[in-house]
Structure 1
Amino acid sequence: MKIVHGRADGAVTEARTATFTGTVWGDPVLPTTDGTTINSVTFTPGARTFWHHHERGQVLVVTAGTGWVCTHGETPEPLTVGDVVWVPPGERHWHGAGPGSIMTHLATSLGTTTWLDEVSEDEYGQAGR
């Protein structure tokens, strides 16, 4: 058993930059433990991940705002508070905020994450069409 107590005094929210477009903030909820990582991630309007996939899948739980999730080759799907997304192992996808709202989600990533290319403005713009 491992107990991870809440936010440590003086902990600083991390700016996420290398694999994200726009302004994105993240707070670890569970540091990588047995190949599982949980983060609370907040996307500002229009911000999003790069394309990526997970070795053993990912679970997203939207806790604030609205946004989008998209599997490669498909139309982006809307997300709102309370939505839960299961992304199967190896599925290339992206997720992020809508153009007019922040979005915060808990992201549980199973196994390693493989980061790919940036989601283009055209690909992002397909959301809501």
Structure 2
Amino acid sequence: MKRLLHTSQTTDLSWLQRLVKNRFLFPALHFQLFAIPLVLDVTWSYAIFWYLFMMLSIFLIHMLPLYLHRPIALLIVIIAIVMGPTLFSVPTGLEWLSSIFIIKLVLSHCVREEPYRPDDQKNN
């Protein structure tokens, strides 16, 4: 699916493929962090902060030139790893959750796999 995300193919796409191809809608549908305050003793600000941090990071990355996507995404992940355990008190053992959320959506989904591949050689 990720290869579909960064191609120019638009014909004969299913509704799921169109959803995955959308740069902002697909990450916006990741509401997993909002389940944490429902079942654990964590404030809603935890989920809201990390969700907004993720969406703003994705927006920022897509506003930058392609060659900066990967280094900026990595910088955002490093910031999330450093900030994660210090900003909010989360239950012991779940300190990793916000960092993994950011890695999954910002570094893995948002960044093109082959950022320097010429556009005319995409399908080869």
Scaled to the shorter chain, the TM-score interval is under 0.3
TM-score, normalisation: structure 2: 0.26
Say which structure is richer in helix.
2
Say which one has the larger Rg.
Answer: 2
